[in-house]
Structures are given as C-alpha cells and as structure tokens.
Amino acid sequence: MAQETEETRPDGARHETVPGDRLAPGGPRLALALGVGKLAGSTGRMLKVGGGTSLPGMIARFIDPNVLRKVIGASKAKKIAVTGSNGKTTTSQMIGAIGLANDLKVSQNRTGANMLQGVTSVAVNAANLRGELDDDLLVFEVDEGTFPLAIPEIQPDVVVVNNIFRDQLDRYGELYKVASGLERVIRELPASATVLLNGDDPLVANFAPDMRARRLYFGLEAQNLGGTVPEHAADTVRCVKCQHYFEYDAVYISHLGAYRCPSCGYARPKLDVALVAAEMQPQGPTTVTVRTPGGEVTLTMPLVGIHNVYNVTGALGGAYALGLDLSLASNGLATIKPAFGRLEPIQAGDQTVYLSFVKNPTSYNTILRTIRDWPGQKHVLAAASNTVVDGEDFAWFWDVEIEEIAPDLLTVTCSGLKAEELAMRFKYAGISDEQLEIIHDRPAALEAGLRKAGPGGSLFIFAGYTPTLELRRAMTERGWVPHVWEE
Amino acid sequence: MIDLKNMTLRICHLYPTLLSVAGDRGNLFAIQRRCDWRGIKTEVREVEVGEEADFSQYDLILSHGGADREMQLASRDILKKASALKDAVEAGSAFLAVCAAYQLLGHEYKPFKGDPLPGIGLLDLRTEGGSERFMTHLAMECDFSGQKQVMVGFENHSGRTYLGPQAQPLGKVVAGWGNNGKDGYEGARYKHVYGTYLHGPVLPKNPWFTDYLIKIGLEHRYGGPIELPALDNKAEEAAHAAALRLAMLNKGKMSAIEATTWKR
C-alpha cells in the first residue's frame, strides 16, 4: 500500500496525496467513493427511502475513509462548524442563509444529519468525481459527540459552540464528558481559526482558556427578556471554578444568562457579539439588534422564541468571523423558515400542524414556553419511542415542566413505543383520563389528533427523533410537506 | 383515627438541586399527586448542602442520583448530617434513596479510579466502581409491603453494591443486573429505609410502592394502621406492563443500547 504523504500546495493549503495517483487528481479510490456515494444518494431519493443526507457519506467513507479529508484539503471554501446541544440546525441554516445573501455558493448538511456520515455527505454531494468542489462556503452542523472525530477532518476556519445541555443520559453519559471532548478539540485548533463561544453558558465560556485560535464570546444583553432565577432543569448552576451556586443578573433559558459567582467572582466574560435589543411577537416575527466588532445589525425574522434569539446572535457572530457582509444578513433571514422539526408549521388542508422535535428537557421547555403565549387551548400529539438513536431512558421527561402548560391543553394523544410512559407523565401533570388517549400507531395518532383539532384548528406535535421522521413521512404521503431532502 | 383529609405528609427532599439527574424529581411528583387525589396534604422541605435539619420531623425523606462531581460534594456534606439522619431513621422516618444517595447511605463508595468516598453507614453496604456500566431495564420481585409485588425501572450504574448482614435486599432480580450483577438482588432496605439503583423514575411506574411509602409515612405521624383508598391505576399499570416487557426483552444484555451510532 503506497504511503500517504503531505504536500503543501501553492496556495498554502495542505492535503495528502498518494504517489502514483496523478492520473485522477483525487485518486481512483476517491473517485469511486464519491461516485458510489452519489449513486446511493440519488437511488435513495428515487426510491423515496432516503435523501442523501447520511447514506452517501457512509458509503463513501467505507470505500475511502479519507474522502472528507481529501475533498476538504483540495477546496478553497471557507468552512464553519456549528455544535452544541440545542440550536445547531437553526444556527447553521441562518449562517447558510447569510452566506447566500452574500452571493456565495454554499453547501451544508441540512435536516440534522450531523454525525460523521452526514457531515461527509456534504462533501460527497457537492464535489465532482475528482474531489473538487466550487463552493465558497461549507457549513457543517456537527453533533457534539461526533465533534472530536469530525473537526480534524473538516479543519474549520470558524467554530460556533451554542450551549451544553443534558441530553438523555444513556446516550452521552455525563455533561462534563461531552464538554471535555469539545474542549480538547478546540484547544488544538490553529491560530488562524476563530471560535465563537456562548458566553452565557458558563461551561462553554470556560473552554480552553489557553486555545491558540481567536476567541469570541456571544450572548444576550437584553435584561428585560430574562428572569433572575434558573429553572429546575438547569444543569450548570454551580460555579465551574469553585462549585458555589451562581447568582444571575439575568437568566434567559435554563442556565444561560449573565451569571456571577458570589464566592470566587468568576463571571460571564465581556461579550464580543451581543444581542442588545429584541422585540418578540408571540407568533412572530422577531426583530433583533446585535452588536458585533464590525458594527450593529438590526434585522427581522419570522422565527419565534428566546432560543432563536440565541441562534441568530451566534449565527451573526459566525458570519462576522467568516468575513461576511452583515448588512446583507437582513435579506438572508427575512424569509428563513423554521428548520425541520422546530415548531415547523405544516399546512394540512385547512388545519395547521406544528411539528417539534424534542430530545431533552431544555428544548422541550423552550418550545412549551414559546407556545404558552399563543392564544387558545391546544391539542397535543406527543410521541416517543425507544430506539438506538432515541435512547432507552425517558426519565428526563419528568424534568420537563408539563405542569406549566397543562391548564392550556385540551387533548393529549400519546403515541410511539413509549406511549404509556408519556400518558402517565401527562396524567401526573394534571391531564385527566378523558383528555388522554393512547394510540401507538403514528399515522393513526396523527389522524386522531387532527380530528380532535377540528376544522381550521391546530395540532402541536412533540416527538422524539424517530417519531418525528415517521410523522413527517406520514404527512409527506398526504402531500402536506415535501420530502425532507427536497427542502 | 383522624380523617385522611386532615392529614399532612411531611416530606424532606435532600439535595434537590445537587442530586437531581434522570428525572428523579418525578418520585416527589408521584407522592404529591397520589396524596392530592386522596385529599391528603403534603409539605415539602428542601435541604441542600450546608443546611441543617432535624430530620425526625419528616415522615419521608427523598434523595436521588447525581454524577461523580455532584456525588463528591454530597459525600462531604452528608457526613455532617449523618447523626441527624440516623436518629430520624431509628425513630421511624421513611427514606427513599436512589442511585448516588443509595450509595452514600452505605459505608463507602470506592470509585474505579480515585479515592474512596465515605458514606454515612446508615445502610450496611459498600460499593465499588466497575469499568462497565449496567444500563438496562430491570424487573424484580419484592416482598416487603405486605404482598408480593413486581418493581420495574431503569438501572444505570457502574457501581457494584454488596450488602452486609444488617441490610436486606429490596428485591430479587427477574431481569437486569441489580446491585452487583452477581448475587441476583437489587437495592437494600433497613427499617423504613429503601435504597435502589432504579431510575425511571421508580415511583410513578410502581404505584404500589408509592402508596406504601405514603402509608408508612402517615403512620409515622398519626399511628396505624392506615388504609389508603384505592386509586384508578390504569395509566400506571400500562406503563408498568410496558416496562416489564422491556425488562424481559432485554434480559441478559449489559446495556439496552448495544451499539450507539456515534461509537466508532
């Protein structure tokens, strides 16, 4: 097997070559990997079984494990990687939209296919068989567990870390393990890279103080939006330095906010990119003013909720670090649609379905609090299943503040393999037997939920990863929403 | 005998913020709701690190699980509360201790790597950290509440707990690994102290256990015997049955997730 060597190209980019492969610039193995990967993607789309969001990457890596490295190494595109527990998809989409508004050719992994296969699929879909791609900007949403493996291959110019929340414990074990994985990789980034850290998250703000890369903090400085006491589901409420409980001048979501330790003085760092004002209508739009080192930006977007205020602040920070013209961001975000499964409105005849993918207490609580301000009582379809991806442990559901929204709920239909657990949780939150119904089959549960919502009514779906895909597929079959890969 | 509707169950939630992983606060919700539905009042006092309490004032003490860092902090603090907790238990207060709290009620917890953490020795047991995690659904047969019952839940621990002569197991494992994966038992009990590794959280899916704790808690305050009126347990029994099915399905597996997609 020929030795791989490193070679420095005239423009300074480094990539690996295999001597003897000069006939096809990327090498025959690479061409095969890309070709078969692309074929798998289009076949999947044709047969409507999959859309080229992960499969191409998986197959390509099987043929050539270095496929992503090689394509990245040969490319002149700027690269940005977004990670963290919540908000990756929306933040990445926002950055992509700002890139497009800047007239750049952008490729990114959509729909949350954010593990190694999904990240690799970006390259497989965008590159030609010689491994060349002509994009100006590559935006990678990267799952926080995959980050340590993906970043050395992507070699991003900019990294955005949104937040760290406790996901179901049986997937990633402890909070601190995930954090140290991210921190380790960030520490290794070169001085030419920039890292945007959410300063409002004490765990994230404390990452790798000795990093070589440029360090920028983003967060919120609009105290009228926050409270002063963190909620129950908050994770890092203790000082990361001395373990004393934090006090907050303003807390916005879970443990995110303007914290300070009354014991050792550790406090939120000065923010480089900060939201200074926001006007939020309950059902949108949201107008934000964000301060960056390059100036202030004001824009209006259709997305709602404080979580999206964080997402847009992080996205503007990332766009600034990429050198994009932020005055064009307004155009880019004016028509941005909610990402797949993020209070995604789907028109079902004369009814509206709001599809929300929920996977941890914080994302669930955030969505519940967002819709609590919407008028009228709500019909809910809650679906959860235990699968390899969703995990087995659903105890975290008891950390969701269902009690807060229970008085607003008219009916709750529970579906999925864990329907009984869901129903029990809702019962203990104050929902009566008459309001609750268990229908395991997802399409049947969808029918029932819509029937209860009545003509012109709305149905709110809260679903785990697998049921979200299943329900969306059911809605695609009814023609209400295109296939996930056609977006 | 005074009317149930004039009774108040006094609960102490020990380390409600420090030890609060895995939705265990659902145990408190289960107790409170099942009291509400019977017209019984509840009072909850939260006791955190650095706070003192006369635990004998409480009918039921609850404490739950946490990660390593949290457990270290709890260990240092619970030693200061040790004699107050022991007095309460000897005088008949009930105590439900889950996971980290369960381990801290023992003599000692020796992590896989690092120095041993002292416990308060309220339960005659000790725990050693192992290199692998027992992470799966569990079902066990229990015989301490007056009739044979099945308890179900989700265990997730690398600690292996060994009981001494003064502690009885909580139940005999039917599916799952239990205290140490070897002796076939899960949890521990002594007087009215109940320790277990079961998350879930454990009480909502085992309404017989919740009602038992409410009963002995009220008897601690008002004398016994107390008969609790039955409640409609359809939802709980359905969740129980589903969990039992999962436990049987996963019998023999160390982890209910054999391969997570993010592992290389």
Neighbouring C-beta atoms of residue B165, cutoff 10 Å: 6
pLDDT of res. A170 = 45
With left for phi above 0 and alpha for psi between -120 and 50, is residue A376 left, alpha or beta?
left
Band (A51; pLDDT cuts 50, 70, 90): low
User: What is the DSSP-derived secondary structure letter of residue A406?
Assistant: G
Q: Which helix (H) or strand (E) holds B211?
A: helix B207-222
Residue A38 in domain: no
Look-up of token digits 């709920």: A409
pLDDT of res. A2 = 39
Residue A24 in domain: no
Lowest mean pLDDT: which of A9-23, A70-84, B32-46, B174-188? Answer: A9-23
The residue from B99, B142, B220, B240 that is catalytic is: B99
Chain A residues with CB under 8 Å of B260 CB are 171, 388
Chain B residues with CB under 8 Å of A245 CB are 17
A389 and chain B: CB distance < 8 Å anywhere? yes
CA A140 to chain centre: 10
Neighbouring C-beta atoms of residue A433, cutoff 10 Å: 11
Q: How many domains does chain B have?
A: 1
Q: What is the mean pLDDT of residues A431-451?
A: 97
Amino acid at B190: Y
Q: Is the dihedral of CA A397, A399, A405, A407 positive or negative?
A: positive
Inform me whether the pLDDT recorded for B82 exceeds 90: yes
CB A416 within 8 A of CB A385: yes
The residue among A170, A263, A418 with the most chain B CBs within 10 A of its CB, best to mutate, is: A170
Q: What is the pLDDT of residues A371-401, one digit of tens each?
A: 998 999 999 999 999 887 777 778 889 999 9
Residues A330 and A430 in one domain: no
pLDDT of res. B132 = 87
Share of chain A above pLDDT 70, in %: 90
Residues sharing a CB contact under 8 Å with residue A409, sequence separation 6 or more, in sequence order: A377, A378, A379, A380, A431, A435
Residues A370 and A411 in one domain: yes
Lowest mean pLDDT: which of A226-230, A304-308, B81-85, B202-206? Answer: A226-230
Inform me whether the pLDDT recorded for A4 exceeds 80: no
Distance separating alpha carbons of residues B201 and A345, to the nearest angstrom: 33
CB A291 within 8 A of CB A219: no
pLDDT of res. A484 = 63
Q: Give which of A207, A162, A157, A155 is closest to A184, Cα–Cα.
A: A207
Tell which of A334, A363, A393 closes a domain.
A334
Q: Which two tokens stand for residue B98?
A: 């889950």
Phi, psi dihedral angles at A62 (to 5 degrees): -65, -40
B199 catalytic? Reply is yes
Distance separating alpha carbons of residues A352 and A449, to the nearest angstrom: 11
Q: What is the mean pLDDT of residues A471-483?
A: 89
Say if the Cβ atoms of A170 and B156 lie within 8 Å.
yes
What is the extent of the structural domain holding A318?
75-334
CB A302 within 8 A of CB A184: no
A433 and chain B: CB distance < 8 Å anywhere? yes
Across the interface, of B68, B200, B264, the residue whose CB is closest to A395 is: B200
Distance separating alpha carbons of residues B149 and B226, to the nearest angstrom: 19
Band (A1; pLDDT cuts 50, 70, 90): very low
Residue B238 belongs to domain with CATH number? 3.40.50.880
Residues A397 and A426 in one domain: yes
The per-residue DSSP string of A252-280 comes to EETTEEEEE-TTT--BPPPPSEEEEEEEE
Q: What is the mean pLDDT of residues A353-365?
A: 90
CA A418 to chain centre: 24
Distance separating alpha carbons of residues B77 and B79, to the nearest angstrom: 5
Residue B160 in domain: yes
Q: What is the pLDDT of residues B106-137, one digit of tens each?
A: 999 998 888 999 999 999 999 999 888 899 99
Amino acid at A234: A
pLDDT of res. A7 = 41
Q: What is the mean pLDDT of residues B2-22?
A: 91
User: What is the DSSP-derived secondary structure letter of residue B127?
Assistant: E
The residue among B15, B19, B27, B29 with the most chain A CBs within 10 A of its CB, best to mutate, is: B29
Residue A262 in domain: yes
Q: Which two tokens stand for residue A102?
A: 């800047």
Q: What is the mean pLDDT of chain A?
A: 88
Distance separating alpha carbons of residues A234 and A259, to the nearest angstrom: 13
pLDDT of res. B21 = 81
pLDDT of res. B264 = 26
Of A22 and A240, the structure prediction assigns the larger pLDDT to A240
pLDDT of res. A234 = 65
Across the interface, of A146, A399, A427, the residue whose CB is closest to B23 is: A399
- Give B162's strand partners: B126
Residues A171 and A235 in one domain: yes
Total CB pairs under 8 A between chain A and B:
100
Residue A472 in domain: yes
Q: Which helix (H) or strand (E) holds B82?
A: helix B68-90
Cis peptide before A375 (omega within 30 of 0): no
B64 catalytic? Reply is no
Distance separating alpha carbons of residues A178 and A83, to the nearest angstrom: 11
Inform me whether the pLDDT recorded for A238 exceeds 90: no
Tell which of A287, A316, A334 closes a domain.
A334
Q: What is the mean pLDDT of residues A433-438?
A: 96
Residue B263 in domain: no
Q: What is the mean pLDDT of chain B?
A: 93
Residue B264 in domain: no
Residues A408 and A287 in one domain: no
Residue A437 belongs to domain with CATH number? 3.90.190.20
What is the extent of the structural domain holding B65?
4-249
Look-up of token digits 């989409």: A93
Inform me whether the pLDDT recorded for A15 exceeds 80: no
Say if the Cβ atoms of A388 and B257 lie within 8 Å.
yes
Q: Is A367 helix (H, G, I), strand (E, B) or coil?
A: helix
Tell which of A307, A334, A361 closes a domain.
A334
CB A116 within 8 A of CB A150: yes
pLDDT of res. A8 = 40
Residues sharing a CB contact under 8 Å with residue A10, sequence separation 6 or more, in sequence order: none
Residue A1 in domain: no
Amino acid at A132: E
pLDDT of res. A485 = 60
Residue B255 in domain: no
Look-up of token digits 């597996």: B253
Q: What is the pLDDT of residues A244-293, one digit of tens each?
A: 889 999 999 888 999 999 999 999 999 999 999 999 998 889 999 999 99
Q: Which helix (H) or strand (E) holds B76?
A: helix B68-90
Distance separating alpha carbons of residues A320 and A328, to the nearest angstrom: 11
Buried b (16+ CB within 10 A) or exposed e, A350-366: ebbbbbbbbbbbbbbbb
pLDDT of res. A363 = 85
CA A320 to chain centre: 19
ipTM (interface predicted TM): 0.94
CB A9 within 8 A of CB A2: no
Residues A328 and A400 in one domain: no
| Interface residue ranges in chain B relative to chain A, Cβ cutoff 8 Å | 17, 20-26, 29-30, 33, 67-69, 73, 135-137, 154, 156, 199-201, 204-205, 232, 234-236, 238-239, 241-243, 246, 256-257, 259-262, 264
Residues sharing a CB contact under 8 Å with residue A12, sequence separation 6 or more, in sequence order: none
A359 and chain B: CB distance < 8 Å anywhere? no
Residues A238 and A363 in one domain: no
Say if the Cβ atoms of B241 and A232 lie within 8 Å.
no
Across the interface, of A143, A169, A389, the residue whose CB is closest to B22 is: A169
Inform me whether the pLDDT recorded for A30 exceeds 70: yes
Inform me whether the pLDDT recorded for B12 exceeds 60: yes
pLDDT of res. B259 = 34
Say if the Cβ atoms of A237 and B234 lie within 8 Å.
no
Of B258 and A472, the structure prediction assigns the larger pLDDT to A472
Residue B176 in domain: yes
CB B203 within 8 A of CB B104: no
Distance separating alpha carbons of residues A245 and A229, to the nearest angstrom: 11
Amino acid at B187: G
Q: How many domains does chain A have?
A: 2
Buried b (16+ CB within 10 A) or exposed e, B132-164: ebbbbbbbbebebeeeebbbbbbbbbbbbbebe
Residue B259 in domain: no
Residue B171 in domain: yes
pLDDT of res. A25 = 64
Inform me whether the pLDDT recorded for A217 exceeds 80: yes
Residues A289 and A402 in one domain: no
